[in-house]
Amino acid sequence: MRTLIRNATVVLPDAVEHVNILLDGPRIASVDAPDSSRADAVVDASGLHLLPGLIDDQVHFREPGLTHKEDLHHATRACAKGGVTSFLEMPNTKPTTTSLRALDEKLALAASHCHVNYGFYIGATPDNLDVLQTATRTPGIKIFIGSSTGDLLVDSQQALERIFAETTLPICAHCEDETTVKANAARLNGGHQVADHSLIRDHKAAIIATRRAVDLAERHKHRFHVLHVSTADEVEFLRGTSDLITAEACPHHLFFNISDYVRLGTLIQMNPSIKTAADNDAVWRGLLDGTLEVVATDHAPHTLEEKRQPYPKSPSGLPAVENYLALLLNEVNQGRCTISQVASWTSAAPARIWNLKSKGQIREGFDADLVLVDLNKSEIILNEHQLTKCGWSPWHGETLTGWPVRTWVMGQTVFAEGKVIDEVRGTEILFDRLK
């Protein structure tokens, strides 16, 4: 199947140009194809922008074990609608992805159920070093330096030293200091209202754990990625780190702060917690100056019934994969960032950091994972229109301008005219270990 995308404004690696793109099967055949190119289908993209498909490197799709909240089928339909063509999923499912068998089983599930491309992290425990040393079908190792479910908490210095010293895969971590979190919780008697969550999981907990993890990475010369940076302190600290260290922001730490608890309550309860408006500004500055290189969602759905439980019974996490490109495009329209920056944060940078083969750029020979967006389209986010299985969004009722209108996965249209094409399946992401 050859597809000619004509008259698009294309976000290329080094420029934004008005060119035709020719797809030949799952690959990009030409980034400057003539109008006369032979094609089985022609898409007129006049007035629209073409971006590389988004790569969300931090999601929780809940399968197996927690599929009443989310599953691979619903989550990847939401991805397709939102312009996300590839995802990397975290290991805190049930069972956790901490063995090669569990990793293989997840990959097999994904082959049957995913409408976009897929990859899964291997989770670190205090005693699975041999697994971390031998896993290959994975982007890297995920460590929870801070509370988590099951056996995924790795907080002892000895265990952390061995993981950083004796493994070769890139490492990422949830950085909140467990000792600090527990002390804060004891001082507040566990917390009584959701605003206490940001006092329990405070700035100090974040910066202590981030400093600790970066110290491990730099001493052992190990590539390390800081997930969901939430504080100005972390952004300032990360400006002085080595090239081994990369970091990312998430929409909830860009767009929500503690003043929003009054309006949204436990719906925006997250780990790491929402911080202040000053922290929002600092995280944005970190993105704009290159200190933070990635925007990922940390998509972590729960049912509304679960989220509306009184704090602290309410779980942390919110859905975002369906709307995060639109949130960023809305900022492009408001002049806060450029469309090229959005493409870098959501595609080129995660592809580079996790060594994804042939992804993240509109370039000849690369995978035809693409999203066509209309920067002039305005739409209201409504719970009843969400494709994620949990069926709600913390941005319900907000009007955004700039939306995806068509998505290709490996050259196949998976979303167009407001509908997901359920017959399309993604493929397992491959990794270039030579980088």
Both 229 and 101 in one domain: the answer is: yes
Asked if residue 44 is part of any domain, the answer here is: yes
Same domain, 147 and 15: no
Is the domain of 271 the same as that of 152? yes
Same domain, 416 and 315: no
Together in a domain, 38 and 77: no
DSSP structure string for 326-379: HHHHHHHHTTSS-HHHHHIIIIIHHHHHTTBTT-SS--TTSB--EEEEEEEEEE
The Cα 368–Cα 428 span in angstroms is 14
Q: Examine residue 245 and state whether it is found in any structural domain, yes or no.
A: yes
Say yes or no to pLDDT of 204 above 80.
yes
Mean of per-residue pLDDT scores for the chain: 96
Q: Which amino acid is at 286?
A: G
pLDDT tens string 249-292: 999 999 999 999 999 999 999 999 999 999 999 999 999 999 99
| Residue 353 near residue 170 (C-beta atoms within 8 A) | yes
Range of the domain at 181: 53-353
Q: Do residues 182 and 216 share a domain?
A: yes
Residues 31 and 130 in one domain: no
Q: Is the pLDDT of residue 127 over 90?
A: yes
Residue 434 pLDDT level (bands cut at 50, 70, 90): low
pLDDT surpassing 60 at residue 300: yes
Instruction: Confirm whether pTM is higher than 0.95.
Output: yes
> In a 10 Å sphere around its CB, with 0-12 CB exposed, 13-18 middle and 19+ buried, how is residue 235 labelled?
buried
Q: Is residue 124 part of a domain?
A: yes
> Do residues 123 and 246 both lie within one domain?
yes
Residues 107 and 32 in one domain: no
Instruction: Give the domain CATH number at 222.
Output: 3.20.20.140
Asked, for residue 429, whether it belongs to a domain, the answer is: no
pLDDT at 151 (0 to 100): 73
| 87 found inside a domain | yes
Tell me the pLDDT tens digit for each residue of 339-359.
999 999 999 999 999 999 999
Q: Is 362:28 a contact under the CB 8 Å cutoff?
A: yes
The answer on 130 and 11 residing in a single domain is: no
The pLDDT score that the predictor gives to residue 435 is: 53
State the pLDDT at residue 153.
80
Total count of domains within the chain: 2
Is residue 388, in this structure, part of any structural domain at all?
A: no
Backbone φ and ψ for 287, nearest 5 degrees, come out as -65, -45
Question: What's the pLDDT score for residue 34?
Answer: 95
Q: pLDDT, tens digit, for every residue of 16-44? A: 999 999 999 999 999 999 999 999 999 99
C-alpha to C-alpha distance for 60 and 90, rounded to whole angstroms: 6
pLDDT of residue 148: 58
In a domain, 425, yes or no: no
List residues with catalytic annotation: 298
CA-based end-to-end distance of the chain: 32
Q: Identify whether 30 is part of a domain.
A: yes
36 and 159 inside one domain: no
Measured CA to CA, the distance from residue 435 to residue 376 in angstroms comes to 39
- State the CATH number of the domain containing residue 371: 2.30.40.10
Residues 142 and 193 grouped into a single domain: yes
Distance from C-alpha of 90 to C-alpha of 141, rounded to nearest angstrom: 9
| 5: helix, strand or coil | strand
Whether the predicted pLDDT of 45 surpasses 90: yes
